[in-house]
């Protein structure tokens, strides 16, 4: 049973105290500490607030660690698809060395890892060469993985543009069985990527982005994901990264505030779907993500779990499968 610390009031003060206590178990004096965070697409106002990361940086420095904040460029066109553009976006969103208190790095050097599902799994070199890591994640909804938190923060955000692209492509769908032409998949597809041709469903892969909704609604199970669901791929990639670190070398901070229906990659077309619940801190990634999901579902009377059709527990169940923890936790209110 893993302890998950819940901070509901005096957020920055209690976050600093909690992080300081947990860092004391990590022996980071003189060591490089990578801080993994999503710094937000420009136009999105729900991303992590810089003072939250700044508070963590201060405690790392007090403990003698050498922190740096990092992320990687994205695969889609936008304000973060190159290191230079991402640095400018980070600055506009309030993430600079002056405001955060440590260097801000947009990683473009990678180390290849051996993945079961992704042939081109290239993880951030800075992340893999750090001595310890603090993963600060904004909890929110996501149309492909149902929610985004610590597992997605590492499994997608810690890898190269090419890996991101391949991971998304692996989750696209295809017709494999006896289609009865009922049109359930056509009606359910949010991207209008499926049509009926000669009484049979046809997936247009140029439009499909791998949410798996069609797989869930097909009454005959005639549609399948090509390689692996995004949630499972994220869990595996995350496990490859965390195997590099010891049990007391990573700390997870999940921020349950400004909880939107879409990822912070969205440039602004989002809506808030849950109340602010506070901040969670734990040394176990499955426990902290599962606790986050459970708290949000409880606060929304289960409506959050119904925002998207995909299995909302797939990420944490897959992370358990890859040896990252059983998801059992004990909430400790700070």
112-149 confidence digits (pLDDT tens): 999 999 998 999 999 999 999 999 999 999 877 889 99
Give which of 141, 162, 149 is closest to 266, Cα–Cα: 141
> To the nearest whole percent, how much of the chain has pLDDT over 90?
80
CATH 3.40.50.11440 positions along the chain are 2-166+230-333
The tokens for 177 are 């069985």
Question: Contact at 8 Å (CB) between 327 and 282?
Answer: no
Task: List beta partners, residue 202.
Answer: 195
Query: Residue 181: is its pLDDT beyond 80?
Result: yes
Phi, psi of 202 (to 5 degrees): -130, 125
pLDDT digits over 24-83, tens only?
999 999 999 999 999 999 999 999 999 999 999 999 999 999 999 999 999 888 899 999
Q: Which CATH number fits domain 2-166+230-333: 2.30.30.830, 3.40.50.10320, 3.40.50.11440, 3.40.30.10?
A: 3.40.50.11440
pLDDT digits over 85-104, tens only?
999 999 999 999 999 999 99
Question: Contact at 8 Å (CB) between 290 and 329?
Answer: yes
CATH 3.30.70.20 positions along the chain are 172-225
Rounded to an integer, what distance in angstroms lies between the CA atom of residue 4 and that of residue 68?
24
Query: Residue 210: is its pLDDT beyond 90?
Result: no
Rounded to an integer, what distance in angstroms lies between the CA atom of residue 210 and that of residue 117?
15
The secondary structure of 206-246, three-state, reads CCCCCCCHHHHHCCCCCEEECCCCHHHHHHHHHHHHHCCCC
Dihedral of the CA atoms 288, 292, 294, 299 (nearest 10)? 160
Q: Which fold has domain 172-225?
A: Alpha-Beta Plaits (3.30.70)
51 class by beta-carbon count within 10 Å (0-12 exposed, 13-18 middle, 19+ buried): middle
R_g (Cα) of the chain, nearest Å: 20
pLDDT reported for residue 310? 66
Predicted TM-score (pTM) of the model is 0.93
Give which of 125, 150, 118 is closest to 281, Cα–Cα: 150
């Amino acid at each position: 049973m893993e302890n998950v610390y819940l901070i509901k009031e005096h957020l920055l003060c209690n976050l600093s105290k909690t992080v300081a206590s947990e860092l004391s178990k990590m022996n980071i004096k003189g060591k490089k500490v990578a801080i993994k965070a999503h710094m937000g697409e420009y136009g999105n106002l729900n991303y992590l607030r810089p003072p939250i990361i700044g508070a963590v940086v201060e405690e790392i420095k007090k403990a003698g660690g050498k922190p740096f904040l990092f992320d990687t460029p994205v695969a889609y066109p936008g304000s973060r698809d190159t290191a230079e553009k991402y640095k400018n976006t980070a600055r506009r969103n309030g993430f600079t060395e002056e405001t955060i208190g440590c260097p801000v790095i947009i990683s473009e050097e990678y180390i290849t890892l051996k993945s079961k599902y992704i042939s081109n799994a290239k993880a951030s070199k800075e992340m893999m060469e750090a001595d310890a890591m603090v993963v600060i994640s904004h909890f929110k909804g996501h149309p492909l993985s149902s929610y985004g938190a610590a597992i997605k923060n590492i499994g997608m955000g810690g890898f190269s543009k090419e890996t991101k692209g391949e991971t998304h492509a692996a989750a696209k769908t295809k017709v494999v069985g006896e289609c009865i032409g009922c049109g359930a998949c056509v009606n359910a597809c949010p991207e209008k990527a499926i049509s009926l041709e000669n009484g049979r469903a046809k997936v247009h892969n140029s439009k499909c982005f791998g949410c798996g909704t069609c797989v869930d609604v097909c009454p005959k199970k005639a549609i399948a994901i090509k390689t692996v669901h995004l949630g499972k791929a994220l869990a595996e990639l995350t496990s490859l990264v965390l195997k590099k670190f010891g049990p007391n070398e990573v700390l997870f901070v999940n921020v349950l505030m400004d909880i939107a229906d879409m990822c912070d990659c969205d440039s602004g077309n989002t809506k808030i779907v849950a109340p602010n619940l506070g901040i969670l801190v734990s040394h176990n990634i499955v426990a902290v993500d599962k606790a986050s999901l459970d708290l949000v579902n409880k606060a929304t009377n289960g409506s959050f779990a119904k925002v998207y059709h995909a299995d909302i527990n797939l990420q944490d169940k897959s992370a358990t499968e890859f040896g990252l923890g059983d998801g059992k936790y004990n909430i400790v209110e700070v």
